[in-house]
Amino acid sequence: MVNICVKDCITARVHIGHLSKKWDPRMSKYIFSKVGDRHIINVQKTIEGLEVACQNLKEIVASGKRVLFVATKKQVRDYITGIASEVNMPYVTQRWLGGTLTNFITIKKLLKRKDYDEKTINSESFKLLNKKERHAFVRRHNKRNTILSGISEMYRLPGALIVIDVKKEKVAVAEARRMNIPVIAIVDTNSDPSYIDNVIPANDDALDSAKLIIEEIKNSISEGRQVYLAEKEKNDISNKNDADNEENKDLKTNRKSTDSNEKRIKRKR
């Protein structure tokens, strides 16, 4: 269960959609009414969609998978970076690099190159380069680091994508669909919800709206992480006990073998 109500959604301006002339007809089932020239989102549908999304995220994270935050809109960029870092999940908030999911092998090579460049900059041999070469190298590294910093520890494909604006992040959504990665997204009235696995109908422009929804998502990720760590600790203890039992069995077998050999030697004497 999520800890928000209709009043919270109204206060955070979750219900305010786009102008009616910019709407996508496929969002009609999530629209409550039209006031003036603007559509009003049914916040009850928002809460229902958020509950389903949070439950799915909890299960995904509890299974040991990671989720990727995708939000390159300026108004939510810094906030998403902070939230993703807080729950130790990868994120893309600067620019979606084409092939991040569909060409992940190349992305991993770029990440290795980034790590190598960092070591090079901190090495003594780097100081032997002239000023122009050092400046060009650092500039190239910083540009690469800006794009890849959020996914620097993403060693495998994510278990799900969390997207703030599906219209702006259409390339990321397309890649996720191609790789059969579920997409959980905040979808406004001007977007197509057909390609989204978990639709959370809401205002994707207001920071307060995004904060209200992402806070609930963050909590579900934290809960899933706790379940995963508890299960992992339980398995580690079980494996340790099994290893101890095997070791004890080996010791008993060796003792029996030693006793048997001693008896044979005594008989011969």
pLDDT at 242: 61
Q: With beta carbons less than 8 A apart as the criterion, state whether 159 and 63 touch.
A: yes
Q: 266 to each of 71, 91, 189, 257, 258, how far by Cα in Å?
A: 80, 73, 92, 15, 13
Place of tokens 């963050």: 218
Residue 30: closest CA among 12, 50, 11, 58: 50
pLDDT at 123: 84
Q: What span, in angstroms and rounded, lies between the C-alpha atoms of 71 and 95? A: 9
- Residue-by-residue pLDDT tens, the chain, 269 positions: 688 899 999 999 999 999 989 899 999 999 999 998 899 999 999 999 999 999 999 999 999 999 999 999 999 999 999 999 999 999 999 889 989 999 999 998 888 888 888 888 888 888 788 888 888 888 888 888 888 889 988 889 999 999 999 999 999 999 999 999 999 999 999 999 998 999 999 999 999 999 999 999 999 999 999 999 998 888 777 666 666 566 666 656 666 666 665 656 555 55
Q: What span, in angstroms and rounded, lies between the C-alpha atoms of 103 and 106? A: 6
pLDDT at 126: 80
Residue 214: closest CA among 92, 39, 70, 23: 70
Residues 6-101+157-230, CATH architecture: 3-Layer(aba) Sandwich (3.40)
Q: What span, in angstroms and rounded, lies between the C-alpha atoms of 30 and 33? A: 9
Q: What are the residue boundaries of the structural domains of the chain, listed by start?
A: 6-101+157-230
pLDDT at 266: 57
Write the DSSP assignment of 90-143 as a string of letters: -EE-S-PPTTTTTTHHHHHHHHHHHHHHHHHHTSSGGGGS-HHHHHHHHHHHHH
